Structure 1
């Protein structure tokens, strides 16, 4: 389209484009057929596509969305072309899933593997940096699990689907407090959940715990700022 053909007062072109008004009826028919085909395709892909998605499954869903948009809107493109592309994408996904079922190496490559975020009440800072997970993001997830002390956490895994799996100790240990700054009333009153451990300090960076009588930086991350641990 040339510049001289563009007019802000051309409401018909803005609303309908350059296609005739009857094309709106065709768009409705195209969308109905394409949507029905997409429902069958997603159903064929399995129930995993309606749950938490892995990286490869997310890529497939984005690809399907890109494929179906053109046949629904572009008059020069037919529905059968989109259907062929859908079948190719689905066939590729099913093939990779089958190879992953037969080989753990391919499965780890395409699906990803869990990452250890917290080990024995201590943040695994290097792993968190590699997976681009901030401390505040992880702390917020633990607070949603009603955990206000890092010492209660034995393991936290970041799953391949992007969800967190949290495992707690049967008996709580001293650890880094996880409540927001300024909410000291929780620390003072305990709320029946946590209480201060005056004999232990927790590193505010990684959460490693040391006895208050021991001076010096954190042996785990070499950070030099501590706070009173809680249980």
Structure 2
């Protein structure tokens, strides 16, 4: 029967001190694995925190939590994990400040998702952000249609930054309100300005059917033009 405060078990769990070298290697491997895994999941998965910051939180939380709850986890190996993570943190922080390529690799880069009131299709395909989710982000900022948006960027933190047209420059655009957007159809019922439901390109179209010259899709929504509410 084990007793509390058995110091050999409490500190090292009866492991040899040379095991600490393995702890350093294990910590480094898991640190790199977490960094890669979270980087692959995309910006939105770690919104408001950088991928690197999230890795630090997970790694330190795990290192702190295990010796708190499990008697077979020694304090000294946990402290070695802490030290290893802090050293890796300082090293990666230093390297990102010295090397632009490494900084982009770790933190990601800002991506333009909307340009001149139209989706940047090539950039959108590279991100994990769904169209509905992006529409929701814009609606939260009181945006009714893409004609109000000069440009929008997905930041490395996962936040969406939006720059607006001046009131006198607002143009017709793809409606973002669900009740209007979901009227999209391959059939155009009357002549007028219509926005491609996929890329937001606006065209003057006659009744009938049409193919978007930008993305080659065939669904259209009647374009609207309203000023943004401040």
Q: Same fold (TM over 0.5)?
A: yes
Distance 1:55 1:180 in 2: 32
Alignment of 1:152-163 (within 5 A): 152-163=148-159
Corresponding residue number in structure 2 for 1:136: 132
The residue aligned with 1:208 is: 201
Residue in 1 that maps onto 2:122: 126
Provide the aligned C-alpha RMSD in A.
2.5
- Where structure 2 has 5 or more consecutive residues not aligned to the other structure, the ranges are 6-46, 183-190, 226-230
The Cα of 1:124 is off from its aligned counterpart by 2.1
SS at match of 1:69: helix
Change (3 A) 1:221 1:69: same
Deviation of 1:173 after TM superposition, in Å, equals 1.1
Matched, 1:217 2:211: yes
Contact 1:157–1:166 (CA under 8 A) maintained in structure 2: yes
Given that 2:172 and 2:202 are in contact with CA atoms closer than 8 Å, whether structure 1 keeps it comes out as yes
SS, match of residue 210 in structure 2: coil
State whether residues 117 and 151 of structure 2, in contact with CA within 8 Å, keep that contact through their aligned partners in structure 1. yes
- Decide which structure has the larger Cα Rg and report it: 1
Alpha-carbon separation, structure 2, partners of 1:91 and 1:168: 43
Q: Structure 1 CA distance, aligned partners of 2:2 and 2:49? A: 38
How big is each residue's C-alpha offset from its partner over 1:88-143, in whole Å with a ceiling of 9 and x where there is no partner?
11110111111111111111111111111111111223322221111111000000
1:98 aligned onto 2:91: no
1:52 aligns with 2:56: no
Question: How many Å apart are 1:213 and its aligned residue?
Answer: 4.3
Q: Which residue of 2 aligns with 1:39?
A: none
Distance apart, 1:183 and its partner CA: 9.0
More contact order relative to length (CA 8 Å, sep ≥ 6): 2
Q: For residue 155 of structure 1, report the CA deviation from its aligned partner.
A: 1.1
Distance 1:229 1:150 in 2: 9
Counterpart CA distance in 2 for 1:182 and 1:121 is: 17
| CA distance 1:175–1:108, change in 2 (3 Å) | same
Q: How many residues align?
A: 173
SS of the counterpart of 1:207?
Answer: coil
SS where residue 154 of structure 1 aligns?
strand
The 2-side partners of 1:167 and 1:183 are apart by 22
Question: How many Å apart are 1:177 and its aligned residue?
Answer: 0.6
For structure 1, list consecutive stretches of 5 or more residues without a partner in the other structure. 1-17, 24-50, 185-197
What is the SS of the residue equivalent to 1:230?
Answer: coil
Alpha-carbon distance between aligned partners in 2 of 1:89 and 1:183, rounded to the nearest angstrom: 48
